[in-house]
């Protein structure tokens, strides 16, 4: 059972947006950010015709969601992958297309709650922050090797940190004598570096830096730039892509891709739309939907959510897959 602490954001609205694409027998839903499986569980419960493929780069999330969703048997398939590998996942399962794709971006509640992962600034822990702890450099590696210019860019671009250059200079100065290894050391530096008046507003002074490091360590924007167009390519006619974003950079990226996919590609002064020039997709949401006050009170994580959705209304110009629609049961990587 999902606890309030782990309540999926805008759960009812997300399922409602997915439902028209998943009411057909044999429909396939891909949850690109499986996490603890809350959204997938709701789809499996409320849309009995749907099969669910859950993707996550975090092996522990896959283990926990497999346990949670085991009662649904062969209707659920777990895959260890990063979500920009979506086309390979779909092809590997022998599918020519899927009917719905969902992204719940950012860090999961489970990752924040496990102290040893180093995502949270509230407790001292190893500075890891990898969503897949089996591969790649850690946040400590980044802090100890990046140039001052690169650290400044990361903090400014991903964290919108006003004191990015000042923090970067202090990180480089301190790592010369004591390399960073734990989150408590970084939090201490941030308290000492960010001026007191700035620390009294805008939440915890470490929030922006930790967010920026997490996004850089996991290449979250790079992965998203590849994944959103890929998700559009793998849905069939009537299929939908639904995205929940929590960061302005993520939401702008999603908005831009959706706008391009739903726009007419003809001169604005053309008196008619040539056959075949109509957009292959349409916007399902008007702008970005947000959580209401009640949802935010119940689930504070919903305060920054931006929800967008598109639907394919015409076939893609050329088929991207030619395999069978059969989904082999229990396939995982």
Domains and CATH numbers, the chain: 4-108+220-312 (3.40.50.150), 132-217 (1.10.150.170)
- Encode pLDDT of 157-193 as tens digits: 999 999 999 999 999 999 999 999 999 999 999 999 9
Torsion sign (Cα): 137, 141, 142, 146: negative
Pick 323 or 10 by higher pLDDT.
10
| Lowest-confidence region among 3-17, 70-84, 230-244, 253-267 | 3-17
pLDDT of 182 reads: 94
Residue 289 corresponds to which tokens in the numbers above?
């939907």
Binding site as annotated, residues for S-adenosyl-L-methionine: 37-39, 56, 83, 104, 111
Q: What is the DSSP letter of 317?
A: S
pLDDT of 275 reads: 63
Residue range 56-82: average pLDDT? Answer: 95
- The partner residues of 243 in beta bridges, in order of sequence, read 103, 308
Binding site as annotated, residues: 37-39, 56, 83, 104, 111
- Hunting for tokens 């069939």 — which residue is that? 236
Please say if the pLDDT value at position 320 is more than 70.
no
- Encode pLDDT of 93-116 as tens digits: 999 999 999 999 976 555 455 555
Residue range 135-157: average pLDDT? Answer: 96
Burial 148-176 (b: 16+ CB within 10 A, else e): eeebbbbbbebbebebbbebbebbeebbe
Task: Provide φ and ψ at 78, rounded to 5°.
Answer: -105, 140
Q: What does the alpha-carbon distance between residue 295 and residue 115 come to, in Å, rounded to a whole number? A: 27
How does residue 299 score in pLDDT terms, banded at 50, 70 and 90? confident
Residue range 13-34: average pLDDT? Answer: 97
Burial 26-39 (b: 16+ CB within 10 A, else e): ebbbbbbbbbbbbb
DSSP per-residue codes, 278-294: S-SEEESSSS-B---HH
Residue range 293-313: average pLDDT? Answer: 93
Q: What is the value of pTM for the model shown?
A: 0.86
Pick 242 or 107 by higher pLDDT.
242
136: left (phi over 0), alpha (psi -120 to 50) or beta: left
Question: Strand 306-312 relative to strand 281-283: parallel, antiparallel, unpaired?
Answer: antiparallel
């Amino acid at each position: 059972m999902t606890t309030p602490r782990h309540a999926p954001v805008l759960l009812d609205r997300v399922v409602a947006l997915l439902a028209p694409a998943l009411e057909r027998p044999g429909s396939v839903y891909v949850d690109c950010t499986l996490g603890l499986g809350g959204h997938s569980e709701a789809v499996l419960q409320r849309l009995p015709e749907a099969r669910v493929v859950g993707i996550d780069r975090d092996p522990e999330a896959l283990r926990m969601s497999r346990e949670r969703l085991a009662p649904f048997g062969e209707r659920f398939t777990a895959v260890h992958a990063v979500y920009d590998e979506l086309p390979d996942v779909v092809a590997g399962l022998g599918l020519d297309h899927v009917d719905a794709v969902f992204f719940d971006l950012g860090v999961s509640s489970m990752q924040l709650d496990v102290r040893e992962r180093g995502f949270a600034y509230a407790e001292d822990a190893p500075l890891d922050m990898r969503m897949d702890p089996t591969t790649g450099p850690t946040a400590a590696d980044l802090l100890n090797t990046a140039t001052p210019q690169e650290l400044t860019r990361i903090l400014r671009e991903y964290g919108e940190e006003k004191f990015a250059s000042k923090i970067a200079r202090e990180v480089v100065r301190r790592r010369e004598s004591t390399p960073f290894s734990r989150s408590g050391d970084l939090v201490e530096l941030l308290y000492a570096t960010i001026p007191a008046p700035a620390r009294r507003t805008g939440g915890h002074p470490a929030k922006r830096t930790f967010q920026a490091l997490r996004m850089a360590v996991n290449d979250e924007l790079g992965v998203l730039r590849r994944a959103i167009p890929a998700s559009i390519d793998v849905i069939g006619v009537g299929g939908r892509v639904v995205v929940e974003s929590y960061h302005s950079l993520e939401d702008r990226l999603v908005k831009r891709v959706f706008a391009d996919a739903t726009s007419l590609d003809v001169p604005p002064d053309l008196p008619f739309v040539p056959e075949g020039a109509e957009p292959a997709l349409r916007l399902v949401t008007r702008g970005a939907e947000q959580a209401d006050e009640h949802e935010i009170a119940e689930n504070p994580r919903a305060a920054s959510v931006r929800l967008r959705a598109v639907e394919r209304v015409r076939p893609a110009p050329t088929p991207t897959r030619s395999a069978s629609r059969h989904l082999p049961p229990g396939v995982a990587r």
